[in-house]
Every structure is written in structure tokens, then in C-alpha cells.
């Protein structure tokens, strides 16, 4: 059995929790991510891991512009030895 003060405290707590839940729901519904993400990386990781993840992320958050430019390393690719010797 609660005292009158206990009942008043309990009701105040219920009101606070209700307001918190309302605020959280409002923030969830109004929140759309916007902006730009730019990630600098390259090579195998960028192609096999990062690119698919950025694609999924972009589909989930259309307000976000995501890019991962591959750096130019200035290294000339060499043909395999079997092709060079021909």
C-alpha cells in the first residue's frame, strides 16, 4: 500500500516515462540522415568490403552521399611473365 506521497511520486514517474517515450518516438520518426561521407582507402579492401557496404548504406539512407575514391598510386601494371616473353 502506497502513501499519498508515494502515489503522487509514482504518477509523476509514469508521466515522465510517457513523455520520454513520446520524445523518443518523435525523434525516430523525424530523423533522416543527411550529409556526405567520404572514405579514403584503396585496393582489395575497398573493392570487396567497403564498396558493397557503402551501397547498402546508401540504399538505407538516401539523404547521404557516400563515396570512396580509389587513389591513383602511379604504379604501372606489368604484364604476366608469360605474356612479356612472347
Overall domain count for the chain: 1
Instruction: Please state whether the predicted TM-score (pTM) of the whole model is above 0.75.
Output: no
Assigned domain for 45 exists: yes
The answer to whether residue 38 is domain-embedded is: yes
* CATH number (domain holding residue 38): 3.40.190.10
Q: Which domain holds residue 38?
A: 33-71
Asked if the structure places residue 81 within a domain, the reply is no
Beta-sheet strands, E only, within 14-84: 35-38, 64-67
- Is position 54 within any domain? yes
Residue 41 maps to a domain: yes
pLDDT per residue as tens digits for the range 10-65: 999 899 999 989 888 877 776 677 888 888 777 777 778 888 888 888 888 888 88
Amino acid at each position: 500500500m502506497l502513501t499519498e506521497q508515494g502515489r503522487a511520486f509514482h504518477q509523476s514517474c509514469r508521466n515522465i516515462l510517457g513523455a520520454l517515450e513520446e520524445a523518443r518516438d518523435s525523434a525516430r520518426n523525424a530523423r533522416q540522415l543527411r550529409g556526405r561521407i567520404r572514405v579514403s582507402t584503396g585496393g582489395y579492401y575497398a573493392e570487396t568490403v567497403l564498396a558493397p557496404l557503402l551501397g547498402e548504406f546508401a540504399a538505407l539512407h538516401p539523404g547521404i552521399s557516400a563515396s570512396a575514391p580509389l587513389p591513383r598510386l602511379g604504379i604501372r601494371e606489368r604484364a604476366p611473365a608469360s605474356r612479356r616473353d612472347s
